Amino acid sequence: NAGVTQTPKFQVLKTGQSMTLQCAQDMNHNSMYWYRQDPGMGLRLIYYSASEGTTDKGEVPNGYNVSRLNKREFSLRLESAAPSQTSVYFCASSEWAGTVGYTFGSGTRLTVV
Amino acid sequence: RKEVEQDPGPFNVPEGATVAFNCTYSNSASQSFFWYRQDCRKEPKLLMSVYSSGNEDGRFTAQLNRASQYISLLIRDSKLSDSATYLCVVSASGGSYIPTFGRGTSLIVHP
């Protein structure tokens, strides 16, 4: 009964390095999302995938790219990490976009130095 | 004006107290409303939906006021385990519109 699984849980990067955050869900949900959460800023949507084969920008997409690999998996890539990308990243899924029964992963704590 | 606004708190209350949070939204076309709970350093989890007629789940009561564009969450008989951040979520429709999260209200329940 895993729900949404994110890897890694923690990561430290140097400025300019790249990395991919992985997310997989086993609930047969159609929609998947990437959020970042910063102190005092709440959850901000980076990218989302309303259904397999589609991706769209959210509120703060700059510096990120995504891939909806298949129905289960949605990855987030930082091509050239910057200190401003230090944050907690949450992946989430829902049966359909706009239906708020989000299930969140446990998060990735990323620090860029 | 932010789309969804919450008082960040913290609300500091003793065990057994009743506490209420409000959340205001700016989009009058909003249709779906929810409360999420987030424990420290954990992911958000759905607490309850908010229906037009109001709804109750044990010690928790959620209400919607469309005229004034706010939703509320009432917690009765507070427990230590209720200490968390409570996020309100607003969505304009049940279609492809992506919901907006408030920044959360922090609740601390002390002995």
Whether A100 and chain B come into contact, CB under 8 Å, resolves to: yes
Query: Is it the case that residue A19 has pLDDT exceeding 60?
Result: yes
> Cβ contact (<8 Å) for A43 and B42?
no
- Average pLDDT on B68-77 reads 96
**Whole-number pLDDT of residue B3:** 85
**Whole-number pLDDT of residue B93:** 60
Residue B85's contacts (CB-CB under 8 Å, 6 or more residues apart) are B37, B38, B39, B40, B104, B105, B106, B107
**Whole-number pLDDT of residue A2:** 75
Contacts with B, A 47-66, CB within 8 Å: 48, 50, 58
Q: How far is CA A112 from CA A10, A16, A35, A81, B26, in A?
A: 11, 9, 17, 7, 35
- Average pLDDT on B80-98 reads 82
Query: Residue A10's CB: how many other CB atoms inside 10 A?
Result: 9
Query: Residue B83's CB: how many other CB atoms inside 10 A?
Result: 18
Cβ-nearest to A98 among B34, B45, B96: B96
Mutate to test the interface with B, among A25, A100, A108 (most CBs of B within 10 A): A100
A31 and A51 Cβ atoms separated by less than 8 Å: yes
- Average pLDDT on A42-59 reads 92
**Whole-number pLDDT of residue B96:** 54
Comparing CA positions, the residue from B110, B92, B85 lying closest to residue B6 is B85
> Cβ contact (<8 Å) for A90 and B43?
yes
Cβ-nearest to B43 among A40, A99, A106: A106
pLDDT tens by residue, A63-102: 999 999 999 999 999 999 999 999 999 999 998 876 667 8
CA distance linking residue A38 with residue A58, whole number of Å: 16
**Chains A & B: contacts with CB separation below 8 Å:** 51
Comparing CA positions, the residue from B32, B51, B9, B20 lying closest to residue B89 is B32
Distance from B52 to chain A by nearest Cα, in Å? 16
Cβ-nearest to A98 among B36, B93, B101: B93
Query: Is it the case that residue B94 has pLDDT exceeding 80?
Result: no
Q: Which chain A residues contact residue B86 at CB under 8 A?
A: none
Q: Which residues pair with B65 in a beta bridge?
A: B70
Tokens read off for A36: 């970042």
Cβ-nearest to B103 among A42, A105, A106: A42
Query: Is it the case that residue B95 has pLDDT exceeding 60?
Result: no
- Average pLDDT on A43-70 reads 94
Per-residue three-class SS string for B32-83: EEEEEEECCCCCEEEEEEECCCCEEECCEEEEEECCCCEEEEEECCCCHHHC
